A and B are shown apart, each in its own frame.
Chain A
């Protein structure tokens, strides 16, 4: 695909829509979670206020260069992931900067943020951050494995590394979705999805009640606001990848909103039903239940 300057404002528009959708969606998910606990939950616009509040904090302290760069890396991971995969299939306007072979780049971006975070949180020197990072990285790494396997299975199945082509191959009816043509890969990927959403049962890393809030212990004011921004972009970007690979992509914004909501809802649904795993339990869980599925998916293809 050739590069044109108009793609930049188009991608920024995508980013804008996704940020707003993400802010509302995250609040909505929290609200649904609260309703399960018979609470009212936060107002739906609360995320906007929190964000504004954090940007308006007057003082902030730093622990060094990497401490600055941590949230920036993380945001880069989220935005990069979003910009390099097509958001709306077949639309010139919202296919962003995708190109052939973007699948590998997407995989890389998914991990990029965690690494930046690890370095930044490590520099803050707070013991809770260090423990949080080591726990987070081990959990994310094991939960990424089944996803990587599933992605390879899908790439083998369609004989391409371009997300666009994979989506194109799934058009023309629900039965063409990877969900039905390669259910094993989808199952492995969805299990891995649970692990990367930082919701129960796999949220021991970021849970406020555990070693206080893990990696971001020392982050505050604008740093935290940057990370919050990423917290709404990154899950959506990740779900866009899932939607494209496994659920036939989206041809218009309403379909996009609906599919993202349902994928997110899947992790929320599991989250409110099951209690939290400890890190070593979740690592074992991923290796025992999700990994074989991923390997089987590759073998079947």
Chain B
């Protein structure tokens, strides 16, 4: 299995491939809508479409440095810290501990923490527990669609070292290999109080300007991608989801 996969990795061309070369890659099972195809336009013209090339932006992420003077950046960092919008994305058992935060007993809204349904508007991705390879794919796409600056919190021991799934055949072990984690909250599973404490620590990191995960991701893009592709066998998505 591993050899097969390395073969696949070798086939990943360095530069943008010629259309004729692409079918060689198609040993990877690809979703139907992503298969290159030829369509006939209403005026009879034949158009060749390679969805992965044509429908997606090919550029990678760029590093976005703090653009303003110290004082304004500090103000912005404070605002970012006090307005954490969590992407409503639950993986693993830990997701169950996020729900009490929205309810009267723990009520995280008091601390400026809100849940947003779309990655575009969120700035905090909470990986709440074990991450199966299949979910990792979705987590990566969601993470990449969030806008800089963005933060990742790993919840529970599963995200740190695999936890009780350390020898599982289809979960990843160290989340930090695949996404730039700003903060871990330990426990199996952590209580809502631990989460609140964790968010509080994250706020401190953000205020200090130390939570630059998005830039880390952009700087080490190659490494993260290699790691991600090492476990995701059916990589049928663009390298970076804008």
Is A58 touching B110 in the complex (CB atoms < 8 A)?
Answer: no
Tally of A interface residues using CB under 8 Å: 31
Is A56 touching B120 in the complex (CB atoms < 8 A)?
Answer: no
Give A42 to B109 CA distance when docked, in angstroms: 5
Partner of B120, one of A37, A43, A49, A219: A219
Could you tell me the distance in whole angstroms from the C-beta of A49 to the nearest C-beta in chain B?
Answer: 5
Q: Which A residues are CB-close (under 8 A) to B164? A: none
Q: Is A221 an interface residue (CB 8 A)?
A: yes
Is B104 touching A221 in the complex (CB atoms < 8 A)?
Answer: no
Q: Which A residues are CB-close (under 8 A) to B104? A: 37-39
Q: Is B107 an interface residue (CB 8 A)?
A: yes
Is B110 touching A43 in the complex (CB atoms < 8 A)?
Answer: yes
Contact stretch, chosen from B20-28, B78-86, B188-196:
B78-86
Q: Which B residues are CB-close (under 8 A) to A208? A: 88, 115-117
**Interface of chain A residues 36 through 90 with chain B (CB within 8 A):** 37-43, 46, 49-50, 52-53, 56-61
Q: Is A24 an interface residue (CB 8 A)?
A: no
Tally of B interface residues using CB under 8 Å: 29
Answer whether A212 and B118 are a contact pair too, CB < 8 Å, given A38-B104, A59-B64: yes
**Interface of chain B residues 43 through 101 with chain A (CB within 8 A):** 62, 64, 66-67, 75-76, 79-80, 82-83, 88
Give A50 to B76 CA distance when docked, in angstroms: 11
Q: Is A218 an interface residue (CB 8 A)?
A: yes
Could you tell me the distance in whole angstroms from the C-beta of A43 to the nearest C-beta in chain B?
Answer: 7
Could you tell me the distance in whole angstroms from the C-beta of B202 to the nearest C-beta in chain A?
Answer: 14
Q: Is B227 an interface residue (CB 8 A)?
A: no
Q: Is B242 an interface residue (CB 8 A)?
A: yes
> Which residue, A34, A38, A52, A128, has most C-beta atoms of chain B within 10 A?
A52
Q: List 13 A-B contacts (CB under 8 A).
A: A38-B104, A39-B109, A43-B110, A49-B79, A53-B82, A56-B80, A57-B123, A59-B62, A59-B64, A61-B147, A208-B88, A213-B117, A224-B121
